[in-house]
Chain A
Amino acid sequence: MRSLMIAALGLGLATPALATPTQVDWQQTLDAARGQTVYWNAWGGDARTNAFIAWVGAQTEAKYGVKVEQVKLSDTATAVTQVISEKAAGKDAGGSVDMIWINGPNFLSMKSQGLLHGPFAADLPNAKYLDLSPSSAASVDFTVPVEGYESAWRLARFVFTYDSAVVTDPPRDMAGFLDYAQAHPGRVTHPDVSNFMGATFLKQALIEFAPDPAALQLPVTDAAFEAAVAPLWDWYDAMRPFMWREGKTFPENQSVQQQLLNDGEVDFGVSFDPASAAGAIAEGLLPDTARVFVPRGGSIGNISFVAIPYNAAHAAGAEVVANFLLDPATQAHQQNIEVLGSFSVLDPAKLSADEAAVFAALPSSPALPNLQDLGPTLLEPHASWMTRLVAAWGERYTK
């Protein structure tokens, strides 16, 4: 592993003949970053992710003299609010948030309010491993152009978890959840829709039921919204009485739902991580028979990013960490099921043979799906759909 990392580093340094301005800049960034502590604001509900972030910090400290402190959030929006509070107080430099694990509406919100540092992502040395063509997954976040204001770090795919010893015939698609709920009342639920994963559950169904899925890729309009959600609400209204607690209360997030799955209160969990079942088994948090499945038409996928607030005190350090996250060795470590098990964001075509071999040699697990099992990746709807959908759900079902 170490020799590979050295090789990867060497790759960046092996072509100094043409000292491009970028490389000079990067050396300046490295110099400025040395000694900094990066406060990485990241959702803290997953022990494996937390451990991975701690590992990242140890690595960057050893390599670049950059420490990482994870600020464990229960909700990413907390960090956004913090930056807004700082802006309200006129604190335009030396802010307390250096880096945020972010995507979707939070990114849209910060980008549109000019709260982000950048563009920086395309200038990171390891950005060369990414497919950054305009329509690629690393260039659009919920259809919002990234434009260098955030940098990719892990791949997310929406999956359901279940206990194969209890559920022998999982639903084949979202419509199938209605049949399942009617046959097994009180066993289906989803995270609260104010939570990201709860909203994703609805979006997955929205994509499946929408008469015109292409409309979801454009900013939402009143007419498009009404047309798209009508079949969704029909399905949801039919299912709701048969849901856990009659659809009147919901687990706060996917972790709480996973706990309910582990306790046997519900039959399905949701996750944005295909390795979640395998990981949870290893942690003793789900029975050994836990597995994942995706609806047969595929499931929503997106990339998780890191962004740097405009007033971050340690922007240079944050850039160094963002770059380290894209190192092939880091991505391979991250994809290891014994570590995090989340799929690499790098473009396989841009890896050298040695780098690709490391990915091929990673260990496997019966609970870990392969890429074929996961089917096609469905694009996230435009971020404005999610905001609208969450608000409409609230108006309909929060009484």
Chain B
Amino acid sequence: MRDGRALRTVVAVALMGGVVLPILAGFAQTTRAAFGILPAIGAQDWSLVPWHQLLALPGFSTSLRLTLVTGLGSTLLALVLAVGFCALAHGRMSHAAMGRMLMPFLAAPHAALAIGLAFLLAPSGWIARLLSPGLTGWTRPPDLATVNDGWGVALIIGLLIKEVPFLLLVIGAALGQLPVRAHLNAGRALGYGRGVLWIKVIMPQVYPLIRLPIFIVLAFALSVVDMAIILGPSNPPTLAVAIVRWFSSPDTALILPASAAALLQAGIVAGAIGAWIGAEAVAKRLGRWWLRRGGRGHRAEPGLWAASAVVMALLMLGALALVGLVVWSFAWRWSFPQALPQSWSLKGWMTPGNGWGRALEATVIIGISATLASLALAIAWLEGEDRARRGRAAWAQALIYLPLLVPQIGFLYGLNVLFLKLGVSGGMLAVIWAQMLFVFPYVMIALSDPWRALDRQHLRAAAALGAGPWRRLWVVKLPMLVRPLMVAAAIGFAVSVAQYLPTLFMGAGRVATLTTEAVTLASGSDRRVVGVYAVLQAGLPFLAYGAALLVPAVVYRNRRGLLGGAA
């Protein structure tokens, strides 16, 4: 028991010092600047001037509206689509098949997907090239705003391609914990249609289980930067992009209103989550009334088909976007309206001079370090819970998810100043630490349920044979958990590969990873090189997931019982 307490103390200190304090300190720095204190540029006095400046910045209100529309809109749409698709696919498609289908979309980093999608959708993009000039009559691309459109539609599509698969995955996991078939059979017997049953009976049980992931999606969609730069409108952009621009403006006085905007961004996320919770309460009341009315609702079926069709279309777009990147990486000249490149070249892949070799190396080193450290911390946390024989307190849960719910831009600038003071900025260690803030929560999410689902009889048997807690951990628990551990590691690695802002700010621009290079190059003129980076960037997580499937298969090659249920 004392041993358990020591372990939990270590974990708590590590988390407080490594996660909570940096975020708070970062916010403190941002807040000081937002209220006029930044001695480096001669700002010494507390004031509200930065806020007035912010309100007066051109396009501020449009940026704000864009952020709300794309963030809330994409989250709501993603939820509706995911629920509709699950309603139709459940029972028709195995969980494993669904996982395989979704894997590429979960693994592909946002930036890579966005770059591919931008090429796919543009008026001179792949879709237009496939249809031109035969079907469209276009010999030159039309002047249509199909990407970077003023409404943010392209950005919403991009977000949906990432968010719908994520929600499908968490809904699928939640459904596994419910007696869905029994409920459906009972409902059918009472004469309810499939769609209405799904909405009236299944969803109310699923929803509490996927609420947190929805908040994460919402917070992410409201503050995404890399995808919004590539797919979103530019004049003005969404608030998060505008903030990054202001922070890096030649006019250094803009750092003050940028800090105010960064605080506002945090407020928007908090407000949106609050509004969502309010809407839940309203939906609950309306839902009760609707349930009691008892409509059997056979008309909902077409809606489900429509939602599923949209989901399939989104996945098709996402897949084409990734294939387009691969094609570009092998192209030399590929002009409109050719469906495929006129000439091919391996030059993009053959010239490490453009730096992908080193970016790859840095990405792998950072990814593996951040993942291993997060995994160790997660195991320590879960083991601590086991030894204390108690579940997770709400505050602890909140602590884990804090970095995912707080917008990165809100504290990263301040955190950078803090890291500089400590003399640790600009190095790999700073980047690894900053990335861990976001890798650790996902590792915890992936590992918590399988850890709790572990069959305790084996542990009791081991204890009865005289194995102490450490031996039980090393010899029984961890080997039995190899599969979920590998999956958690793969997810953590994929999260690390995709990190943009933490790498940019904490690396002081010196630590170039595939993601930072891909986003920089996306604002260059050479799609072929971007293709190489994006393919590598999307390929690394694939490899990680592949390893996550392969390693347990090898380790358990003569333990078939462990291959099935553990995950």
Contacts and interface: CB of A to CB of B under 8 A. Distances in A.
A47 B420 contact: no
Contact of A287 (B39, B335, B413, B523): B335
A71 B509 CA distance: 6
Contacts of B84: none
B247 interface: yes
Given A90-B421, A262-B525, A398-B59, A113 B141 contact: no
A391 B253 CA distance: 13
A85 B417 CA distance: 6
B72 to A, nearest CB: 22
A398 B335 contact: no
Contact of A96 (B234, B425, B525): B425
User: Which of B247, B420, B421 counts the most A-chain CB atoms under 10 A from its CB?
Assistant: B420
Interface residues of A, number: 68
Contact of A46 (B416, B519, B524): B524
A256 B523 contact: yes
Contacts of A106: 250
B235 interface: yes
A283 interface: yes
B448 interface: no
Interface string B485-518: 0000000000000000000000011101000010
Interface string B43-69: 000000000000000110010000000
B424 to A, nearest CB: 11
Contacts, number: 172
A348 interface: no
Given A51-B353, A113-B41, A113-B252, A253 B523 contact: yes
B10 to A, nearest CB: 30
A61 interface: no
A27 interface: no
Contacts of A85: 40, 413, 416-417, 420
Contact of B143 (A81, A244, A258, A280): A244
Contact of A399 (B59, B140, B521): B59
Contact of B140 (A74, A89, A248, A264): A264
B441 interface: no
A20 B425 CA distance: 41
B417 A249 contact: no
B145 interface: yes
B252 A81 contact: yes
B526 interface: yes
Interface in B236-262: 236, 245, 247-252, 255
B345 interface: yes
A284 to B, nearest CB: 5
Interface in B518-538: 519-521, 523-529
Contacts of A252: 229, 234, 523
Nearest to B253: A109
Contacts of B353: 50-51, 54
A261 to B, nearest CB: 9
B25 to A, nearest CB: 12
B223 interface: no
A232 interface: no
B123 interface: yes
Contacts of A250: 234-235
Contacts of A194: 245, 249
A306 B360 CA distance: 29
A263 B40 contact: no
Nearest to B504: A78
Interface of B: 38-42, 58-59, 62, 122-124, 140-143, 145, 148-150, 229, 233-236, 245, 247-252, 255, 332-333, 335-336, 343, 345, 353-355, 413, 416-418, 420-421, 423, 425-426, 508-510, 512, 517, 519-521, 523-529
Lowest 8 CB-CB distances: which A-B pairs, in order?
A186-B143, A88-B40, A89-B420, A263-B124, A394-B58, A255-B525, A398-B59, A398-B58
9 contacts: A50-B354, A81-B248, A86-B420, A88-B41, A88-B420, A89-B420, A249-B235, A262-B335, A265-B141
Given A44-B521, A84-B255, 10 more contacts: A51-B353, A72-B355, A89-B421, A106-B250, A113-B42, A248-B150, A259-B527, A264-B335, A283-B526, A387-B251
